[in-house]
Structure formats: C-alpha cells, structure tokens
C-alpha cells in the first residue's frame, strides 16, 4: 500500500513538474511585460507603462490587425472548403480518388519552407504582387488539408444507418445533411477550424515567403525584431492575447458544464 501511494506521489510530482516547465516561459513573458527595463534580461522594477505604449506603436498594432484578419478570413474560408471537400470525398467515389486522398496529406507532412517556396513560385508565375492577399491565399492553402483531415475522421466515425434512416423518414438529401449530418460532424468542423486558426495565427515561414514589402504580421514583426531585441510592448500585447484566450476558454468550459448538467437533469 505504501509503495502504491509513493508511486502515485511520484506520478503527481512528474505531471506538475512537466506542466511547470511548459508554462514557465509564459509566466516569464507576462512578468517581463511589467518590467521597467527595455531589455528582457533583468527585472529592474514594476510598471504598467508598456501597456500604454502598446497603443502608441502603430507598426505593432498594424501587424496585429493583419494577423487577426488573415487568421479569421482564412479560417472561415478553409473551414467551408475543407468541410465540403471532406463530405464529397466520403460520399462520392470517382476515378483517382485514392490518389487525391494521399495528395491531401502532402501540405501537412512536407516542411513549411518547401511549401513557402512552392507558393512563392506559384504567385510569381501568376504575376501576383506579394501583398496581404497572397498571404491570405497561402494561409488558406495550408489550412484546408487540416480541416479536411479533421472532418473526415468525424465522418468515418458516424453510424452508416443514420443518414439512411433520415432519408427513409422522408428527408431530402439537403435536409439530411443540414439536420442530421452537419450537427453530428460539428465537433470535427470546430476542431479543424480551431487548428486552422492557430496555425494561421503563429505562422512565420510561409508568411515570410508570401508577404510583400508593405505587409507585416505579428509573427513576422517579432521575428524581424529578434536581432535588435524584443520590446516589452510586444510582451504586453501577447499577455493581453493570453488573458483573452483564458477568458474564452473559461467561458466555454462554464457553458459546456452547464449544458451537460441540464442534460443530466433532463
């Protein structure tokens, strides 16, 4: 019994130690957002001035705005295209489908630098000037396969007789998809959308090849300032993003627990 308790304590210690190592860089980032010194080396004093200076930095705010716009638009478009593609590949069979199934995974498994160079070559051949729109197209192109993969895994997990039962009861194909299939695959769609949004939000390599001289995103802005030193107002912005993320996750978990509790009472 004592050996079992000792083993449980060691497991708990290991879990908390790993979590501590994972979250330590985030805690340091938040701490240095309140640092008086401009250098992220030594904590010299406590101040809120960097949060005020954040809104006086037009380049940083412009990069943040571009990042959010690209992430939201690319996630919306890639989620729609990915869901339609996943449903089509599941329901319709055609010659060469096995090849298409394999090609979908290529943007996922190849190195980002290879995909970035390939997209740059395509934009050059198409005589497209590198700008905000080429970055958006690049983000859509590498996000769609992740959505397709997520939605397809949910589709293949559905019972085969669910849609047939709806059609036997008089539902049309559109009604069956809208009222039966779509709600059942919604967890896969949401998972794919969140993955696409996250990948777009922190992409550096592909954005570097697709962005023009006048286009900047937050990851590119941070990357370009590494040699000269990251300003604490960047720490302030990322701390605010962290707080917003925590609020969204906490609110979502609260409503989900209330929904589960109401269902259990019913």
CATH number at residue 105: 1.10.3720.10
Question: Looking at 179-225, which runs of residues are DSSP E strands?
Answer: none
- Residues 202, 117: one domain? yes
257 found inside a domain: no
Model pLDDT, residue 266? 57
Neighbours of 225 (CB within 10 A): 14
Report whether pLDDT(4) > 70: no
Burial 172-207 (b: 16+ CB within 10 A, else e): eeeebbeebbeeebeebbebbbebbbebbbebebbb
Is-contact 111 66, C-beta < 8 A?
no
- Number of helices followed by number of strands (H, E) in the chain: 13, 0
CA distance 142 to 138: 7
Q: Are residue 243 and residue 131 in the same domain, yes or no?
A: no
Both 23 and 41 in one domain: the answer is yes
Residue 86 lies in a domain: yes
Does residue 50 share a domain with residue 74?
A: no
pLDDT of 142 reads 92
Please tell me which residue, 42 or 74, carries the higher pLDDT value: 74
Shared domain check, 150 and 48: no
Q: Give yes or no: residues 38 and 71 share one domain.
A: no
Please return the burial class of 22, using the count of CB atoms within 10 Å of its CB with bins 0-12, 13-18 and 19+: exposed
Q: Looking at the domain assignment, is residue 222 inside a domain?
A: yes
Q: Mean pLDDT across the chain, nearest whole number?
A: 85
Phi, psi of 159 (to 5 degrees): -60, 135
Q: Quick check: 168 pLDDT over 80?
A: no
Check residue 50 and give its pLDDT: 86
Q: Are residues 100 and 46 in the same domain?
A: no
Give residue for tokens 């949910």: 154
Residue 142 within any structural domain of the chain:
yes
- R_g over Cα of the chain: 23
Asked whether residue 21 falls in the same domain as residue 101, the answer is no
Q: Is residue 258 part of a domain?
A: no
Confidence of residue 1 (pLDDT cuts 50, 70, 90): low
Residues 22 and 154 in one domain: no
Is the same domain home to 27 and 74? no
pLDDT at position 54, please? 85
260 occurs within a structural domain: no
pLDDT band at residue 263, thresholds of 50, 70 and 90? low
Q: Is residue 263 part of a domain?
A: no
pLDDT in tens, 7-58: 787 888 889 999 999 888 888 888 888 888 777 777 778 888 888 888 888 8
- Per the structure, how many domains does the chain have? 2
End-to-end CA distance of the chain: 41
Statement to judge: residues 49 and 180 lie in one domain: no
Question: Whole domain around residue 245: which residue ranges?
Answer: 1-57+234-252
Residue 203 forms part of a structural domain: yes
CA distance 5 to 19: 21
41 and 165 in a single domain? The answer is: no
Q: Quick count: other Cβ atoms within 10 Å of Cβ 219?
A: 18
**Residue 53, pLDDT score:** 86
pLDDT class for 116, splitting at 50, 70, 90?
very high
More confident residue, 190 or 7: 190
């Amino acid at each position: 019994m004592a050996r079992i308790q000792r083993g449980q304590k060691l497991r708990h210690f290991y879990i908390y130690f790993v979590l501590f190592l994972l979250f330590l860089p985030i805690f340091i980032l938040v701490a240095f957002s309140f640092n008086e010194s401009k250098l992220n080396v030594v904590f010299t004093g406590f101040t809120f001035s960097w949060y005020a200076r954040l809104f006086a930095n037009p380049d940083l705010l412009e990069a943040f705005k571009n990042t959010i716009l690209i992430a939201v638009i690319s996630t919306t478009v890639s989620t729609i295209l990915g869901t339609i593609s996943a449903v089509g590949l599941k329901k319709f069979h055609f010659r060469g489908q096995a090849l298409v199934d394999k090609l979908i995974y290529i943007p996922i498994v190849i190195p980002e630098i290879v995909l970035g160079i390939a997209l740059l070559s395509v934009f050059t051949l198409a005589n497209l000037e590198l700008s905000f729109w080429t970055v958006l197209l690049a983000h859509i192109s590498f996000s769609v396969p992740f959505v397709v993969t997520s939605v397809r895994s949910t589709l293949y997990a559905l019972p085969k007789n669910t849609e047939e039962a709806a059609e036997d009861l008089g539902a049309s194909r559109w009604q069956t998809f809208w009222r039966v299939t779509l709600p059942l695959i919604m967890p896969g769609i949401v998972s794919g959308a969140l993955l696409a949004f996250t990948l777009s939000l922190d992409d550096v390599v592909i954005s570097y090849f697709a962005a023009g001289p006048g286009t900047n995103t937050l990851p590119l802005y941070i990357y370009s300032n590494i040699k000269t030193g990251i300003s604490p107002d960047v720490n302030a912005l990322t701390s605010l993003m962290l707080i917003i993320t925590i609020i969204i996750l906490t609110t979502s978990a609260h409503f989900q627990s209330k929904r589960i509790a109401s269902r259990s009472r019913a």
